[in-house]
Amino acid sequence: MTERGQNAIERTAHQFTVGPSHLRWENDVLTIQIDERVPLLGTKVQGSIKVFPEQLFNHVVALDDHQKHRWGPIAPSARVEVAFSEPNLQWHGSAYFDSNEGDEAISKPFSEWDWSRAHLKDGSTAVIYDVRQKNGNERIIASKFNPDGTIESFTPPERVRLRKTGWRIQRNMRSEKMGSNANIELLNTFEDTPFYARSMLKSQLLGEEVISMHETLNVKRLESNIVQFMLPWRMPRNPTKIF
């Protein structure tokens, strides 16, 4: 991924182009065509990702008190097919596709958040957004997206503290209790950075044992000078007309 300027971006009704890569909707299938290079090493990253939604949703909710940051799941449950030539990589499986947008930097209103999504036995997807703002207010979104296109809110379980990441970020998860304990098992951590972590967890939700994808964002860490210095080495920047 590369941060690119306004002159490298183009959008039509069915396609969004960023530099040499693009996303395209065609016959209710989203095709993501990637043509990038690895930072520093310069090796190619080329291939396609196809997302086949099981149900599309037009649902957007605010994440902050002033409604300047919004989130919406486009396809909470989907299939995905990945085919890369550089590196040689092919696989398929289940997928989730959503959208985040904001009118200001995320560092302005937020302190941290934990997010999770889990597929349930009835084919629905449960999402919990556990947001803490710098003004001390919390916003907790707990929604179940059903295969028939309906949406149900539910009462989220209590927040449970998980063990910290390798970079010492505190993770939290909303999980129901089994007996006297909220039994949460950390299965894998896919990303462990100074300000962000993505993990796979086993927990209890809506009376079921579920496997959840989980993320934690620590905004204070993101704002730190050393992280800001490190970011361009992970995500190169095209300085021309950056928003």
CA distance 55 to 78: 8
| One domain, residues 112 and 207 | yes
97 in the same domain as 109: no
Whether 141 and 82 share a structural domain: no
Q: Which residues, in sequence order, are bridge partners of residue 185? A: 202
In the chain, pLDDT over 70 holds for what percent of residues?
Answer: 95
What pLDDT does residue 241 have?
47
Domain that holds residue 78: 1-102
In degrees and rounded to multiples of 5, residue 224 shows phi and psi of -60, 150
| Single pTM value for the model | 0.90
Give the pLDDT of residue 242. 42
Same domain, 219 and 152: yes
Is residue 6 situated within a structural domain? Answer: yes
Q: Decide if 242 is inside a domain.
A: no
Do 118 and 222 lie in one domain? The reply is yes
CATH code, 171 = 2.40.370
pLDDT of residue 236: 77
For the segment 31-52, the average pLDDT, to the nearest whole number, is 93
Q: In angstroms, how far is CA 42 from the centroid of its own chain?
A: 26
- The β-bridge partners of 89 are 84
211 shares a domain with 185: yes
CA 182 to centroid of chain Cα atoms: 24
Specify the DSSP class assigned to residue 40: T
Choose one of 73, 102, 131: the last residue of a domain: 102
Greater confidence, 84 or 234?
A: 84
pLDDT digits (tens, 9 = 90+) for 72-128: 999 999 999 999 999 999 999 999 999 999 999 999 999 999 999 999 999 999 999
pLDDT value, residue 237: 74
Same-domain check for residues 69 and 180:
no
- Write out the DSSP string of 103-172: SS-TTTTEEEEEEEEEE-TTS-EEEEEEEEETTS-EEEEEEEE-TTS-EEE-----EEEPPP-TT-PPPE
pLDDT of residue 100: 95
What is the distance of C-alpha 160 from the center of its chain?
Answer: 20
pLDDT beyond 70 at 154: yes
239 occurs within a structural domain: no
Number of domain units in the chain: 2
Same domain, 228 and 192: yes
Q: Which of 102, 129, 147 is the last residue of a domain?
A: 102
Residue 206 lies in a domain: yes
Q: Tell me the C-alpha distance between 79 and 81, whole Å.
A: 7
**What number is the average pLDDT over the span 123-140?**
97
190 found inside a domain: yes
Q: Are strands 172-174 and 185-192 parallel, antiparallel or unpaired?
A: unpaired
Q: Are 193 and 202 in contact (CB under 8 A)?
A: no
Q: Answer yes or no: do 82 and 170 share one domain.
A: no
